[in-house]
Amino acid sequence: MLNYAGKTAVITGAGSGFGLEVARVAAKRGMNLVLCDVQADALDKAAAEFEGQVPVLARRVDVAKAAEMEALAAAVKERFGAPNFVFNNAGVGSGGLIWENTLADWEWVLGVNLMGVVHGVRLFTPMMLEAAAADPGFEGHIVNTASMAGMLNPPNMGVYNVSKHAVVSLSETLYQDLGLVSEQVRCSVLCPFFVPTGISQSHRNRPAEFASGKPSKSQLISQAMTDKAVTSSKVTAADVAALVFDAMDREQFYIFSHPKALAGVQTRLEDVMQLRNPTDPFHDKPEIGQQLKAALRNRS
């Protein structure tokens, strides 16, 4: 997709991180903005930033809730018609040993990270395909935010890994399915590594219905390690937003913020192809693995 002016972008998780930075690029390219976020104050601040620049529709939406996403889709169609760019980006993080994740953890993380993308795909893809059938000049692109955790399986991050692997699978299937029916609507999957976005503090927006009680030791350790990795990253959310638009310009499916991390993906695939047990994820940094084992095995 090369022409953006006057077209419409739907962005979930638009109040911060990748969503906000993608909205900034979209606004510079003259797109109408549909901004969605579950955090009302962040959403209001984002909407105010673009006031007077481009047409904006801002709605507080919990992407995990089908009815709220259905209402959003109806509002987008009424205001702008079919969107040209859908960024299914809202996400939350949660770590810990996989058997220590509570049912509430699973329901919250899968609800946002997976079902939020499912709702975006099932609601907006038909609108885009209908517009494409009616207009040979229509161009559409869907970008789903997964993670490098959707390509790898880092320990102590089980529920998050599962949600992001599902998004990668969904996106790869969507790519193939779209290819069967249209040349005008395409898709990509965004797989960022550790980037400062606020997702490591996503518990700030955790609904009371999914309260999980006191975090376990493994969850506290996961939180600390994630916070450290995120704050030390040299890649910014603005850098990633630029990669998203570059991928759409070039009709590129996979979007990686840290290409060096693909070495781990290659090792994982070689494990599969050679029928060998999963490689130690800390084989190149054994001191980190030893520290993690020591912390988890310390019963005090």
How far is the C-alpha of 244 from the C-alpha of 250, rounded, in Å?
A: 10
DSSP letters along 202-228, please? Answer: GGGG--GGG---SPPHHHHHHHHHHHH
Specify the residue for token string 């919990």.
Answer: 62
Phi, psi of 160 (to 5 degrees): -65, -45
Supply the DSSP symbol for 38: S
φ/ψ (deg, to 5) at 118: -55, -50
* Annotation marks residue 4 as catalytic: no
* Cβ atoms within 10 Å of 62's Cβ, excluding its own: 18
Tell me the CB-side half-sphere exposure of residue 16, using CA atoms within 13 A: 16
Tokens of residue 34, six digits: 């549909």
Short-list 28, 35, 11, 34, CA closest to 143: 11
Of the residues 4, 160, 175, 254, only one is catalytic, namely: 160
Q: Dihedrals φ, ψ of 51, to 5°?
A: -60, 130
**Amino acid in position 284:** D
Catalytic residues: 160
